[in-house]
Structure 1
């Protein structure tokens, strides 16, 4: 029986295995839905009865329903459920893969049991992957997101549709976690982040840096340019200044294959960033001799040419792939006389993804260096003539156009809003929020220079940088356009490369040759929240909840130290393994990705009777306002990587409950005249967590 649900699950059939009654429940599990084209998402769910029939399958369906992803599946008497498609992506192999995370090996492993018979334990993670098998050889492949590094940035513009969005959290403030000087200038590419590493292409080589520390892991000087790397199945696929496309091992930097696309690459070579979708790589070429360029499709496994289609030059634009079609911006024919301009034809080109056959061409009155974005049945793209266009994805007919001062920046789209950057080199810049369906302007911001980097969206925010002498990275509230924070890299320089969100951080390059990691907090994969009442009494217990969550990756060997200055402290949950005075230490052990541990403590404040104002009458209650609690969180990896302490501050009002309530004058007197540390919580969190490569 076949079925299609508004849910997502991926499985391979396996031998029927009866669930083991020995597995205890309930179980907190994480499920990765990887669509094979750069799109993915996680769900964290609770299995109340892990050994129940179809428990994992039902949980997967429920999780996917919440995410709004569709599946196609079949039932086999021998094996149970087998899924043939997730997200209407039509994987070339005809079915999808099911994996379980192997914590000992730090990698995904194919399961030998189908999902309907798979029994999971607390902390387990499974992955459901559309591109699990090569469409020709059926060789197995492995997802890039993992519990250790759950939110990678795998390719320029994020996914096959060039949405420019990320499911990662985004920093709410500027905290430079690290600053790495690559020793080169003019980093024009966009960083990719995966496997615990940051990959950046430059004119002096391809670099891999440690995601947590910024330390160099490897450098390949043969591969260089401004094309941004795409991460796929343990490797990087990237265009080079030598006119070749290279496949480089993500762990070592060693090259597996390369293929030449340009006989005379000139100075620039390949400037388009590869788009990897299942078995295929799509990108364009820039002909610096003034002749035609090409749109090219390669087989991802070995670089063999699938097809090539002649066109005018593709300069910077990265193809979007959707609906069985490829959409790319045409810069035009390079004018060798001026050396800086392009001649028609320029516009948006649509080809068949399978064979490269022409579907339609939409001309614009200006070069298109931006990467087209597909949203529903619309293709959205900026042009250097200042307009942003919406074109029917099937026919190429214009839907609307809006003059918003657009330029070469690639847009991002989320929630029906298109975020468009604009401005020419040396001129003013602008970022405009446009209604995707109508082109109506919602808000606009003028930054300190032209926006020629691309815009990225995550967690209700957008980021971009300005290509001016005092280049600045901006973070805006996506709904209002208000500035959340700004960051000016030093030494000051122009910025053409685009920032990337990954694993709760932002990675941004500068033409000064530095790459920066910005993180709101530096507690590794963990974050911490505290819930406390607004008033702490000297007579009645108040509950303080401290929650440690593995929001950005799995954590192991977690230790929590809490120190209070209070009259009385009573731990309410998780017996501490060490207790000295009012200091308590808990061993929290392993916190799986997406899970959390909560400490509940009952506290009473100290009573410091205040002097009585004249005429106020007897007051037996006492207290103060503005008492401050401090939470200090530190973490480190098993590889010896340490993160600086993060200090959290919260305020409470401490007040006694005995006796009559104080008069307003007494309250004011207490608020400004008494300084008493009635409850100060100092929480030191030390963590050793695994940050090894996930396959």
Structure 2
């Protein structure tokens, strides 16, 4: 009888511990701290300093928002869409709007300099015959963000050039062209005086800044099965001699930093693009996909999938990865009336912790502040700040 009672007690304790663990795990919630409505949908991810969040929308309004209460500190109006995450440096905020590059004072929004690319604006017509400026096709929702290296801001351009602008003056210090002047939507990376970037035709480039020559180029696909296929449109992330990036391609091709040869390839079985920006944290690679609706965790050395969490939304942006969580946004690329979401997954195994639904898609990459706010934009034109609570 004592043995039976002991086993019953042991099972009750075990059951109690499971219940407590599950309850604690699922008790995580996201509460809205503040929300700012703007005049246009927000595809750009915000960037923050200690007091302000900086972000722009597709109607050309760039703004600074106070993190503590959501009050708008200042606005700056441009004449075109803003899609890329801005860059903060030396008390300035740098961003692009419709092929014009701006540097503003972070505190006041006062313009310090601008640099304009003079060439015909890219445009396309949708199925209804409506013309869309500064876009290459209906899914052209990502643009190049600047990369700072030795006082020069490197950025990809729609005219097929990567340019380098002096961060203090805005003067042009550097310019190279992709093959056939293919538009550049990827955000470049500079590593040991070599700059890496990809173009709209799926070609990756390595250029030596000191030697002033291309070190290698690599085609990431052989055939183009449909018109919107193949463009490289993410950040580049290095890790232990490997180069990670996303593209309009169901094959995630990981290249060698030194010579551009393939290190490994992951082929998504659904055929969905692996278009999310790469993040490496604690020797794990995290990337999101579009039509596979999945966030994936890889072993970066060999491409082994550690976990894959599938939901119902396309993922275009960059995840925030912390010690415990993977946080990202999702939306519907095909139905603007559908809802969006911010998702929190358990970093160790990809299990869902919580999600926060928005009225429209979230293709704006979230940022996680020092005060533990999740700040992001949505296609509904609003900027949200969420608090994570137990």
Q: Taking structure 2 as the reference length, what is the TM-score of the superposition? A: 0.70
The aligned residue for residue 255 of structure 2 is: 351
Determine if the alignment matches structure 1 residue 383 to structure 2 residue 266.
Answer: no
The aligned residue for residue 34 of structure 1 is: none
Determine if the alignment matches structure 1 residue 433 to structure 2 residue 341.
Answer: no
372, 375, 383: which is aligned to 1:463? 375
Determine if the alignment matches structure 1 residue 368 to structure 2 residue 274.
Answer: yes
The aligned residue for residue 17 of structure 2 is: none
Determine if the alignment matches structure 1 residue 476 to structure 2 residue 386.
Answer: yes
Asked if the contact 1:295–1:308 (Cα under 8 Å) also holds between the matched residues in 2, the reply is yes
C-alpha displacement at 1:276, in angstroms?
A: 2.6
Determine if the alignment matches structure 1 residue 259 to structure 2 residue 165.
Answer: no
The aligned residue for residue 248 of structure 2 is: 331
C-alpha displacement at 1:378, in angstroms?
A: 1.6
**Are residues 375 and 169 of structure 1, via their aligned partners in 2, closer, same or farther at CA, if it must alter by over 3 Å?**
farther
The aligned residue for residue 321 of structure 1 is: 238
Greater RCO (Cα-Cα under 8 Å, separation 6 or more): 2
189, 194, 197: which is aligned to 1:275? 189
1:28-67 matched pairs, under 5 angstroms = none
300, 304, 308: which is aligned to 2:213? 304
1:28-177 matched pairs, under 5 angstroms = 168=50, 171-177=67-73
Distance 2:276 2:323 in 1: 21
The aligned residue for residue 200 of structure 2 is: 286
SS in 2 for 1:263: helix
192, 201, 208: which is aligned to 2:96? 201
SS in 2 for 1:258: strand
**How far does the alpha carbon of each residue in 1:543-602 deviate from its partner, in whole angstroms, 9 at most, with x for none?**
xxxxxxxxxxxxxxxxxxxxxxxxxxxxxxxxxxxxxxxxxxxxxxxxxxxxxxxxxxxx
Asked if the contact 1:165–1:412 (Cα under 8 Å) also holds between the matched residues in 2, the reply is no
C-alpha displacement at 1:304, in angstroms?
A: 3.1
SS in 1 for 2:179: coil
Distance 2:49 2:348 in 1: 23
Asked if the contact 2:365–2:376 (Cα under 8 Å) also holds between the matched residues in 1, the reply is yes
301, 305, 308: which is aligned to 1:394? 301
**Are residues 176 and 387 of structure 1, via their aligned partners in 2, closer, same or farther at CA, if it must alter by over 3 Å?**
same
Asked if the contact 2:160–2:184 (Cα under 8 Å) also holds between the matched residues in 1, the reply is yes
189, 202, 207: which is aligned to 2:84? 189
**How far does the alpha carbon of each residue in 1:325-344 deviate from its partner, in whole angstroms, 9 at most, with x for none?**
11111213xxxxxxxxxxxx
Distance 1:466 1:223 in 2: 30
Asked if the contact 2:185–2:200 (Cα under 8 Å) also holds between the matched residues in 1, the reply is yes
C-alpha displacement at 1:303, in angstroms?
A: 5.5
**How far does the alpha carbon of each residue in 1:333-356 deviate from its partner, in whole angstroms, 9 at most, with x for none?**
xxxxxxxxxxxxx23221111221
1:512-661 matched pairs, under 5 angstroms = none
Distance 2:110 2:74 in 1: 9
Asked if the contact 1:165–1:456 (Cα under 8 Å) also holds between the matched residues in 2, the reply is yes
Unaligned runs of 5+ in 2: 1-43, 53-66, 120-133, 135-142, 222-229
SS in 1 for 2:238: strand
SS in 2 for 1:396: coil
Query: How many corresponding residue pairs?
Result: 295
The aligned residue for residue 624 of structure 1 is: none
Asked if the contact 1:257–1:302 (Cα under 8 Å) also holds between the matched residues in 2, the reply is no
Asked if the contact 1:416–1:437 (Cα under 8 Å) also holds between the matched residues in 2, the reply is yes
Asked if the contact 1:276–1:300 (Cα under 8 Å) also holds between the matched residues in 2, the reply is no
**Are residues 177 and 390 of structure 1, via their aligned partners in 2, closer, same or farther at CA, if it must alter by over 3 Å?**
same
**Are residues 303 and 248 of structure 1, via their aligned partners in 2, closer, same or farther at CA, if it must alter by over 3 Å?**
farther
**Are residues 259 and 207 of structure 1, via their aligned partners in 2, closer, same or farther at CA, if it must alter by over 3 Å?**
same
Asked if the contact 2:82–2:96 (Cα under 8 Å) also holds between the matched residues in 1, the reply is yes
C-alpha displacement at 1:166, in angstroms?
A: 7.3
**How far does the alpha carbon of each residue in 1:71-112 deviate from its partner, in whole angstroms, 9 at most, with x for none?**
xxxxxxxxxxxxxxxxxxxxxxxxxxxxxxxxxxxxxxxxxx
Asked if the contact 1:192–1:229 (Cα under 8 Å) also holds between the matched residues in 2, the reply is yes
C-alpha displacement at 1:377, in angstroms?
A: 2.4
Asked if the contact 1:169–1:458 (Cα under 8 Å) also holds between the matched residues in 2, the reply is no
C-alpha displacement at 1:277, in angstroms?
A: 2.9
C-alpha displacement at 1:477, in angstroms?
A: 1.9
SS in 2 for 1:401: strand
**Are residues 456 and 215 of structure 1, via their aligned partners in 2, closer, same or farther at CA, if it must alter by over 3 Å?**
same
Asked if the contact 2:376–2:385 (Cα under 8 Å) also holds between the matched residues in 1, the reply is yes
The aligned residue for residue 60 of structure 1 is: none
C-alpha displacement at 1:264, in angstroms?
A: 4.3
The aligned residue for residue 28 of structure 1 is: none
C-alpha displacement at 1:175, in angstroms?
A: 2.2
C-alpha displacement at 1:392, in angstroms?
A: 1.1
Asked if the contact 2:47–2:87 (Cα under 8 Å) also holds between the matched residues in 1, the reply is no
**Are residues 303 and 451 of structure 1, via their aligned partners in 2, closer, same or farther at CA, if it must alter by over 3 Å?**
farther
The aligned residue for residue 222 of structure 1 is: 117
C-alpha displacement at 1:167, in angstroms?
A: 8.0
Q: Taking structure 1 as the reference length, what is the TM-score of the superposition? A: 0.40
C-alpha displacement at 1:478, in angstroms?
A: 4.0
**How far does the alpha carbon of each residue in 1:518-558 deviate from its partner, in whole angstroms, 9 at most, with x for none?**
xxxxxxxxxxxxxxxxxxxxxxxxxxxxxxxxxxxxxxxxx
**How far does the alpha carbon of each residue in 1:109-128 deviate from its partner, in whole angstroms, 9 at most, with x for none?**
xxxxxxxxxxxxxxxxxxxx
SS in 1 for 2:74: strand
